[in-house]
Amino acid sequence: MTDAVYEPAYEAYEGSRTSRLARIGAIAQRGLAQVGSSLWFWVILGVSFLHIAVRGAVLQIGAQGAQPGATPFSASFLADALLSQARFGVTFVLAAVAADVIAEDLETGGLTFYFTNPLTKPGYAAGKGAGPFAATLAVTAVPVLVLWLLAVAFTPEALYPDNVWLLPLGILAASVLVGLVTTLVVAAVSAVVGARGRTAAVWVGLVFLLAAAARVARGVADNADLLLIDLFDALERTTHTLLGIETSPIPELGAWLTVAGWVLVSLAGLTWGLHREEVAG
């Protein structure tokens, strides 16, 4: 690895001279700085808040003169907002800020540098994933929590849903789940595919092609459960669970199993990609 690469990218990492937590923190700090300096991140975040502003206006109009049960302020209303943010905001923000999360180190030789200084693979993955994970929370949890605040402000107290004060916890839990799973998937793709452009293309392709395939399969087999082929449809069911929205027990179990399957496959891909580079190095 050349000095030109080392200076801007790895100078904060001091290897064995610092604690393991400090080493992970140095990688995470750099990742967060990269997210903050990404123009695309701020554009997508701005669009996310514009989307929330529109939903907030719909909420205010719906709350005026509404009868109990007629107001749009509900767990389902917030879940729809969060899932819209997740499918589009998370997809494109990860394509923008996470596509090179590991590919960059594969290209520069930084991966070998980290592992020989030393750092464990889980520690490296945790540090590298911090920035993209924070970006997913910025486009899901933050705008939807703002929408919840607007709902509380605009809606008469008599029209609040029963679990109004528990909804922020559900929003945060669902956002964390979406962020962790999608960040892990993109990290695995980055480790296996390598180049940033190919990683972004494969990730976006997975999201939209699997969504289309799930809907075709559902139409052919007339089985709504086949939608769970799509990661975001599975996350939709788990989000409903976390926000206290009742769903059928079997599809709910299928959704959690689908998410677990994506996690296991992604962990396998990430482990293989890192091990392959370590052996090659």
Cβ contact 31:9 at 8 Å:
no
Tell me the DSSP string of 169-222: HHHHHHHHHHHHHHHHHHHHHHHHH-SHHHHHHHHHHHHHHHHHHHHHHHHHHT
Question: Could you give the CA distance from residue 113 to residue 129 in angstroms, rounded to a whole number?
Answer: 18
Q: How far apart are CA 222 and CA 150, in angstroms?
A: 39
Q: Under 8 Å CB-to-CB from 181, ≥6 apart: which residues?
A: 231, 235, 259, 262, 263, 266
Share of the chain above pLDDT 90, in %: 32
Residues 213-230 pLDDT 10s: 877 776 676 665 555 678
Q: Looking at residue 213, what is its pLDDT? A: 80
pLDDT tens readout for residues 92-137: 999 999 887 887 787 777 777 777 767 788 888 999 999 999 999 9
Supply the pLDDT for residue 221.
Answer: 66
Three-state SS for 12? coil
Answer for the pair 184, 270: CB distance below 8 angstroms, yes or no: yes
pLDDT of residue 240: 87
pLDDT at 263: 95
- Residues counted in the chain: 281
Q: From the CB of residue 251, how many other CB atoms can be counted at a distance below 10 Å? A: 17
What's the rounded Cα separation, in Å, for the pair 169 and 174?
A: 9
User: For 226-276, what is each residue's pLDDT tens digit?
Assistant: 556 788 888 988 898 888 887 655 577 888 988 999 999 999 999 998 887
Handedness of CA 182, 185, 191, 196 (dihedral sign): negative
CA atoms of 138 and 44, how far apart (whole Å): 10
| pLDDT confidence bin for 24, thresholds 50/70/90 | confident
Q: Which residue has the tokens 């910025």?
A: 138
**Collapsed DSSP state (helix, strand, coil) of residue 140:** coil
Q: State if pTM tops 0.85.
A: yes
Q: Looking up tokens 């139409």, which residue turns up?
A: 219
- Stretch (H or E) spanning 66: none
Report the C-alpha dihedral over residues 218, 223, 228, 232, rounded to 10 degrees: 50
44-66 average pLDDT score? 81
Smallest CA-to-CA distance from 78 within 5, 8, 165, 181 is with 165
How crowded is residue 162: how many other Cβ atoms within 10 Å of its Cβ? 9
Neighbours of 19 (CB within 10 A): 10
d(CA 51, CA 53): 5
How far separated are the first and last CA of the chain, in Å rounded?
12
Residue-averaged pLDDT of the chain = 82
